[in-house]
Amino acid sequence: MRRTGLDEPRYPLRANGARMFYVSGPPSYVDHILRLTQLMDRPPRKAPERPPAFGVVQVANFPVEDHPHGVGTNRGRVPGMLSMIQARLSQAQRDQLADGRLALLAYPDTNSVLIKGSPAQVKVIEKLLAELDVAQVLNETLPGQAHAGGGDPQAGPPQLTAAQYERVQRAFLRTEREFSP
């Protein structure tokens, strides 16, 4: 205030050097000094943060939400894409997810994952989603296809013998004659 010339020589500012001073004078002068010091004593503003980036990734091969599977006592939950992503996040990314700097949301209407975070975070999650959203070939063994010999399982259903083929063909021919006018 001395450098700007706002101090009054009749009412000197007394300072002790520890960011504190003492002023005396008429109430209007004290109020004026109080307002000026409140303006100057504000904490420095943080650098403005960049607005968050948003991403929407439509998942093609998996549901985005967890869903039930099975019947009766064999019920369980199949993890959706969002659960798989959250399981693969590093601890630092999980912390960011917990404090709101990174947000993931399943949107089942369009089977999409909504992402909010920094541009780098959005790119990492989009890349992770692309890696996980790959069509998988089901490799289930049906009860009639189990092999005791341990060889390679057959691709597709087992081939019919000639006798079985003839029986199937006769069965279809018989039904066609029954329904023909």
Q: What is the pLDDT of residues 55-104, one digit of tens each?
A: 999 998 889 998 888 887 888 888 889 888 888 888 877 777 766 778 88
Give yes or no for residue 140 having a pLDDT over 70. Answer: no
Architecture of domain 1-42: 2-Layer Sandwich (3.30)
Q: For residues 105 and 97, is the Cβ–Cβ distance under 8 A? A: no
How far is the C-alpha of 16 from the C-alpha of 103, rounded, in Å? 49
How far is the C-alpha of 166 from the C-alpha of 113, rounded, in Å? 53
The 10s digit of each residue's pLDDT in 114-129 is 998 888 889 989 999 9
Q: For residues 21 and 13, is the Cβ–Cβ distance under 8 A? A: yes
Handedness of CA 166, 169, 171, 173 (dihedral sign): negative
Give yes or no for residue 178 having a pLDDT over 70. Answer: no
Give yes or no for residue 106 having a pLDDT over 60. Answer: yes
pLDDT number for residue 48: 65
- Overall average pLDDT of the 159-175 stretch: 71
**What is the band of 135 on the pLDDT scale with cuts at 50, 70, 90?**
confident
pLDDT number for residue 137: 66
Give yes or no for residue 167 having a pLDDT over 60. Answer: yes
Starting at the earlier edge strand, list the strands of the sheet with 53-58. 53-58, 112-117, 103-107
The 10s digit of each residue's pLDDT in 31-52 is 888 888 787 777 777 766 778 8
CA distances from 4 to 8, 12, 15, 120, 165 (A): 11, 14, 17, 46, 106
Q: For residues 80 and 69, is the Cβ–Cβ distance under 8 A? A: no
Among residues 59, 56, 79, 76, the alpha carbon closest in space to that of 68 is found at: 76
pLDDT number for residue 141: 52
What does DSSP assign to residue 154? P
